[in-house]
């Protein structure tokens, strides 16, 4: 993360610690209460603690801040989103989906705990996510309802799950238009709700939610295109998974359709457009540096 200034690096460390300590707290509650359910609780914690960049919860907290809100009011939303992201990864790795044995350099949940426990761990994380928002006494019931409604839409048939349906049903048979539609749903939907939930937690006006959505849409497409490139050019040790798996599985990606250099140019253009959307917010130095890190990342 060499492109982060000292100030932004300190902010990244502070937010990451807040997210991790909050996630640990929620998971400790689950494991302490578990008796006969201990194995599934351990599987939940195993996948949630597997690392990752925590981009989605970071965006929740930071958009709350740039909209003038208290980041503590967005913590449950940030953690809920990371739980749902983790649920999606657990299910994506299952043999009936992508059949991946590794995730972030560790055995996938179903490899470590078995398929049935992995399936249930994902389901449990999905439901826990909504529960922690609904029980958060730091936000009003009205805000909780808005957050849950926004998150539900992002996860559903016309969001992340819908994107996975396209990926599954049209795998290997997608043109550019359908591919980008799938990216907007499968990857972009959770990034969009991350930014918008931060605005909602801050009590921001509707216009801010619309600008946040534009930022997230552009960021989501760029993020996925960079993923495509890294599957061709990346370092397996940094990625924590084998490279070349998309080609091996016959997957159509933006990089395979357009070539690596054209894909890089598209990611740069989309990143510039995401940056433009940030002009409607105040004090966005950290967000801009985070956005550039995602463009230039190697993992």
pLDDT tops 80 at residue 139: yes
pTM, 2 dp: 0.94
Residue written as token pair 């740069």? 268
- Residue 94 in domain: yes
User: What average pLDDT does range 244-272 have in this prediction?
Assistant: 89
Residue 158: CATH number of its domain: 1.10.600.10
Question: Tokens for 152?
Answer: 């539900």
Among 136, 130, 190, smallest CA distance to 163 is for: 190
- Residue 36 in domain: yes
d(C-alpha 111, C-alpha 219), whole Å? 32
Residues in the chain: 299
- Residue 134 in domain: yes
| Arithmetic mean of pLDDT over the chain | 93
Question: Tokens for 212?
Answer: 């946040």
Q: In this structure, is the dihedral angle defined by the CA atoms of residues 292, 293, 297 and 299, taken in order, positive or negative?
A: negative
Number of Cβ within 10 Å of residue 37's Cβ equals 14
d(C-alpha 195, C-alpha 56), whole Å? 8
| 13-53 pLDDT, tens digit each | 999 999 999 999 999 999 999 999 999 999 999 999 987 88
CA angle, 204 then 283 then 210, to 5°: 35
pLDDT tops 90 at residue 292: yes
- Residue 68 in domain: yes
Number of Cβ within 10 Å of residue 51's Cβ equals 11
**Which residues span the domain enclosing 152?**
6-296
- Residue 46 in domain: yes
Question: Tokens for 24?
Answer: 């640990």
* Total tally of structural domains belonging to the chain: 1
- Residue 1 in domain: no
- Residue 217 in domain: yes
Which has more pLDDT, 98 or 288? Answer: 288
Question: How distant, in Å, are the alpha carbons of 64, 109, 111, 223, 287 from that of 291?
Answer: 17, 29, 33, 9, 6
pLDDT at 238: 62
User: What average pLDDT does range 175-180 have in this prediction?
Assistant: 95
Among 239, 299, 229, smallest CA distance to 270 is for: 229
């Amino acid at each position: 993360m060499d492109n982060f200034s000292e100030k932004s690096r300190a902010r990244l460390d502070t937010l990451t610690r807040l997210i991790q300590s909050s996630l640990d707290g929620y998971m400790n509650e689950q494991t302490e209460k578990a008796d006969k359910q201990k194995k599934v609780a351990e599987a939940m914690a195993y996948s949630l603690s597997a690392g990752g960049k925590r981009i989605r919860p970071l965006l929740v907290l930071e958009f709350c801040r740039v909209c003038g809100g208290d980041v503590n009011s967005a913590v449950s939303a940030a953690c809920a989103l990371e739980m749902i992201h983790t649920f999606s990864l657990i299910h994506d790795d299952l043999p009936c989906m992508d059949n991946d044995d590794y995730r972030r350099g560790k055995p996938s949940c179903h490899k470590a705990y078995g398929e049935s426990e992995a399936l249930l761990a994902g389901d449990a994380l999905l439901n826990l996510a909504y529960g922690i928002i609904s029980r958060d006494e730091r936000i009003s019931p009205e805000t909780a309802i808005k957050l849950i409604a926004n998150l539900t839409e992002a996860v559903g048939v016309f969001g992340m799950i819908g994107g996975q349906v396209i990926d599954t049903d049209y795998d290997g048979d997608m043109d550019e238009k359908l591919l980008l539609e799938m990216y907007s749903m499968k990857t972009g939907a959770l990034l969009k709700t991350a930014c918008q939930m931060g605005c909602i937690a801050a009590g921001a006006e509707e216009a801010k939610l619309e600008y946040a959505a534009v930022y997230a849409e552009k960021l989501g497409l760029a993020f996925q295109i960079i993923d495509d490139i890294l599957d061709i050019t990346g370092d397996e040790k940094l990625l924590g998974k084998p490279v070349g798996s998309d080609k091996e599985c016959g997957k159509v990606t933006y990089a395979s359709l357009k070539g690596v250099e054209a894909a890089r140019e598209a990611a740069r253009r989309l990143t510039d457009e995401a940056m433009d959307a940030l002009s409607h917010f105040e004090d966005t130095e950290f967000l801009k540096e985070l956005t550039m890190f995602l463009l230039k990342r190697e993992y």
